[in-house]
Amino acid sequence: MKHLNVIKSLLALSIIGILAACSSENAVVRNINVSDVITSDCKTSLSKEDTRPEYYNDIYSKKTTLKMLMGNDNTIGAQFLDVLDNCQIGRFHVDVSCHDNTIVIILYPEQDMATDCVCEYDVDFKIKDLLPGNYQIEVYHTNSTKKTNESDRIYQGSVTLESNKSITLTMDR
Q: pTM score, two decimals?
A: 0.79
**What is the predicted pLDDT for the residue at 99?**
93
- Mention every residue, 6+ apart, whose C-beta is less than 8 A from residue 98: 29, 30, 32, 104, 130, 135
Alpha-carbon distances of 136 from 9, 104, 159, rounded to whole Å: 42, 9, 6
**What is the predicted pLDDT for the residue at 22?**
36
**What is the predicted pLDDT for the residue at 24?**
33
From 7, 31, 52, 34, select the one nearest 108 (Cα to Cα): 34
What is the amino acid identity at position 124?
A: D
pLDDT tens for the chain, 173 residues long, are 554 454 545 434 444 444 433 333 333 445 789 999 999 999 988 887 766 778 878 888 899 999 999 998 999 999 999 999 988 888 999 999 999 999 999 999 999 877 788 899 999 999 999 999 999 999 999 999 999 999 999 999 999 999 999 999 999 97
> What's the CA gap between 130 and 73, in Å, rounded?
9
Confirm if 13 and 108 have CB atoms less than 8 A apart. no
Confirm if 128 and 30 have CB atoms less than 8 A apart. no
- Mention every residue, 6+ apart, whose C-beta is less than 8 A from residue 65: 80, 81, 82, 168, 169, 170, 171
DSSP 90: -
